Structure 1
Amino acid sequence: MPADTDPEFYSRADAHINLSNGQISKSTRGKVSASMLFGTSRFNAWLSATGFDSAEEMRQGREDTIKFFVAEYEKMLAENLDDYIQNFDRYMKPAK
C-alpha cells in the first residue's frame, strides 16, 4: 500500500465490491458492473461539483476533471489486471 493511502482505503473498496458481489445472484455480472461504474461516476460528478462555486466554473473545469478521473481509473484498472494476471490460478482456480 502506498504511504499516502489512508488505512481505510481497502476496507471501503471491499465494502463496495462485497455489495456488488451480493447483487450478482439477482442480475448478471455485466449489469452489476455497469451499475457500479455509473454509481462511481455519479459520486465523482457530485464530488467534483463540491469543488466549484458555479456551473460556469464547473463547465470550464470539465475536461480537466474528466482527464483526472479517467487517468486514475486507467491506472487502477491496469494495476488490478496485472494482479489478476500474476495470480490468475490462485484467484480464478482456488484449491478445493
Structure 2
Amino acid sequence: MPQNTDDQFYTRADAHIHLANEHCLDTSRGKVSASMMYALARFNAWVSACGFENGADMQAARAETLDYFVAQYRAMLEENLDEYIAHFAEYMDKTEPES
C-alpha cells in the first residue's frame, strides 16, 4: 500500500479504474492504458509545476521530479503485479462454460 494515503485514496483510484473499464467497452485495453498513462503524466507535470515559481526552478528539479514519480509508479506497479500473481486464478477466472 502506498504511504501517506488518506481515507479516500482507494475511492479515487477505483473511480479512475471504473472510468477506464468503461472505455474498454469500445476500445482495446492497451489503448485505454496508454491514454491513462498519458493523462497521469500530464496531470503530474501540472501538479509539479504548481510547486515552482518559474520554469527555471522547475528545470533545476526535473531529474529529482522524474525520479520521484518513476519510483512511486514502480513501487505501486510491483505491489499490484505481486497481488495479481498471488491471486491470478481468482482475479482472472477464465472458466469456460461447459459444452
- How far apart are residue 4 of structure 1 and its match? 3.2
- How far apart are residue 27 of structure 1 and its match? 0.8
Inter-partner Cα distance in structure 1 for 2:11 and 2:92: 22
Gaps of 5+ in 2: none
Q: Which runs of 4+ in 1 moved over 6 A?
A: none
Residue 29 of structure 2: aligned partner: 29
Residue 17 of structure 2: aligned partner: 17
Q: Compared with structure 1, are the counterparts of its residues 10 and 57 closer, same or farther at alpha carbon in structure 2 (3 Å cutoff)?
A: same
Q: Secondary structure, in 3 states, of the residue corresponding to 1:26?
A: coil
Calculate the TM-score normalised by the size of structure 2: 0.91
Identical columns (%): 51
* Amino acid in the other structure paired with 1:77: L
- How far apart are residue 42 of structure 1 and its match? 0.4
Pick 1 or 2: higher relative contact order, CA cutoff 8 A, min separation 6. Answer: 2
Gaps of 5+ in 1: none
- How far apart are residue 25 of structure 1 and its match? 1.2
Larger CA Rg, structure 1 vs 2 = 2
* Amino acid in the other structure paired with 1:24: C
Calculate the TM-score normalised by the size of structure 1: 0.93
The number of residues matched between the two structures is 96
